[in-house]
Amino acid sequence: MAKRLKKMDCTTKKDSYPAADKAKTGTRRIATEANRRIMVEEACRYMKAHLPQAISVADVARAVYCSPFHFSRIFRQHTRMSPAQYLIEMRLQKARFLLITSKMPVHEIAAATGFASPAYFSLLFKRRNKLTPQYYRRRYSGIIFPFAIGHIPVLSNVGDQVGAHPCASETD
């Protein structure tokens, strides 16, 4: 019985320290979380800077001094998408901008945004935007954004219904 009491006393003594242990771990966790956020931001900057190049998750992980597995796990926790998905979304966003603002052919836009094949670019573009790159360009290239000019534009490209922009008020 005496041995049991001593054993219980030992556990009681150990149980009296968890608050200090949690405080240390919590501080470490906060510091680690800040480091992870910085690592994800650095990875995003690296992807943006090397957008036209063929880069892999291993390349990005190497740039932020991390293993590809660990990097992918942390990146997904912070962005809710994999690094590969994020890179594709960045490339498609740049492609949408180029389609609207430039006269570059679609195959050049595909190359400028890092897609190896114009066919693969068109396939992904159509999946994400529900429009082919050509039709997207025809539909949205004539739009002047309201915040730039101060009025709501009229959509009237390639057989679309002519009418006011959906965000426009009926009094304009």
pLDDT digits (tens, 9 = 90+) for 121-161: 999 999 999 999 999 999 987 765 544 444 433 333 444 44
Confidence band of 168 (pLDDT split at 50, 70, 90): very low
The partner residues of 164 in beta bridges, in order of sequence, read 154
Q: Is the CATH number 3.40.50 carried by domain 1-80?
A: no
SS3 130: coil
Using CA atoms, how far apart are residues 165 and 168, in angstroms rounded to an integer? 5
pLDDT of 32 reads 86
Kindly report which listed range (21-25, 98-102, 103-107, 111-115) carries the lowest average pLDDT score: 21-25
Q: Report the topology of domain 82-166.
A: Arc Repressor Mutant, subunit A (1.10.10)
The pLDDT of residue 141: 79
- Number of Cβ atoms within 10 Å of the Cβ of 152: 15
Which of 2-6, 79-83, 94-98 is predicted least confidently?
2-6
What are the structural domain ranges in the chain? 1-80, 82-166
Residue 1 CA, chain-centre distance (Å), reads: 62
Instruction: Provide the 8-state DSSP code for 104.
Output: -
Share of the chain above pLDDT 90, in %: 59
The answer, yes or no, to whether residue 83 has pLDDT greater than 80, is yes
Kindly tell me if the per-residue pLDDT of 23 is higher than 50. Answer: no
Q: Is 154 exposed, middle or buried (CB count within 10 Å of its CB: 0-12, 13-18, 19+)?
A: middle
Whether the domain at 1-80 and the domain at 82-166 fall into the same CATH topology: yes
Nearest to 58 by CA among 87, 89, 34, 81: 87
Reply yes or no on whether the pLDDT at 79 is more than 90: yes
Give alpha helix (H) positions in 50-101: 57-63, 68-79, 83-101
Residue 74, amino acid: I
Q: In the predicted model, what is the mean pLDDT of the chain?
A: 76
For residue 129, the model assigns a pLDDT of 93
Phi then psi dihedrals of residue 163, to 5 deg: 175, 175
Amino acid sitting at position 44:
C
Entry pTM: 0.66
Is the pLDDT at 162 greater than 50? The verdict is no
